[in-house]
Amino acid sequence: MDKPVNRQQSIDTIWQKIIDETTIALKQEPMLQQFLQSTILDHSSMGDSLSFHLANKLSNHALPLALLTPLMREAFASEHILYATARDIQATVDRDSACSVYSTPFLYFKGFLALQAYRVTHSLWLKGNQSLALMLQYSISTHFAVDIHPAATIGSGILIDHATGLVIGETAVVEDSVSIMQSVTLGGTGKESGDRHPKIRKGVLLGPGAKILGNIEIGEGAMVAASSVVLKSVPAHSIIAGVPAEVVGKANDNEPSKAMNHYFKPC
């Protein structure tokens, strides 16, 4: 049986790492003192810091800072959401070769930041504040070039690498421990209504430019190769590639999302 997870302890551990790294960065880059102090060191919790950071990035005439900041704080007061945030940071540090410290995605990676902002829109959507959620989605899309519908269901331990051009539709599901590269589309196939978007199971790796269309399933631990167009369900632990995509091999790793190895040798 798996050992129970102490969510608050996990959150606090990640937050302390961010504080420690920021303190060091402050000494190395004194020109960033105002930014680092106001964004990280002036806050007593990861939720407050992230709320401040995202609200400053996403506020506009329709969503002024005075409105957006408390919305963010309310969402990130949820231990469930903040634990997902902590798991996303850990996933980024573990899997992204360009990231070696915890403060980097928190401060600078738009894939991580867009995902956390989506978590706020999803919370609003579930509470019935759909117009507000869509307004915030618009701001996220404009600022980060990432378009995630507030109604989509996304788990934790997610890496969104580079992020530009990512589209995730309304009825899409992304389970835990998935890695998604830039320009991926989880879309529909036309104007059909209802449940019409892909279901991405645990541990899947979605390569750059992959287009996955329709209410289909990408099985647990599968890998979708770069630039593939996927129009039918994919078996678990398989590699799929091509236009239209077909199964070309078996994944070497139980969770390709964590190995981040995009190379494959067709069978």
- The SS3 assignment for 93 reads helix
Kindly report whether the peptide bond that precedes residue 64 is cis, defined as omega within 30 degrees of 0.
no
Q: pTM higher than 0.75 for the full model?
A: yes
d(C-alpha 88, C-alpha 179), whole Å: 10
CA-CA distance, 152 to 166, in Å (whole number)?
A: 13
- What domains are there in the chain, each with its CATH number? 1-146 (1.10.3130.10), 152-267 (2.160.10.10)
243 within 8 A of 213, measured Cβ to Cβ: no
SS3 97: coil
Digit-by-digit pLDDT tens for the chain (267 residues) are 456 679 999 999 999 999 999 999 999 999 999 999 999 999 999 999 999 999 999 999 999 999 999 999 999 999 999 999 999 999 999 999 999 999 999 999 999 999 999 999 999 999 999 999 999 999 999 999 999 999 999 999 999 999 999 999 999 999 999 999 999 999 998 877 899 999 999 999 999 999 999 999 999 999 999 999 999 999 999 999 999 999 999 998 999 999 999 887 766
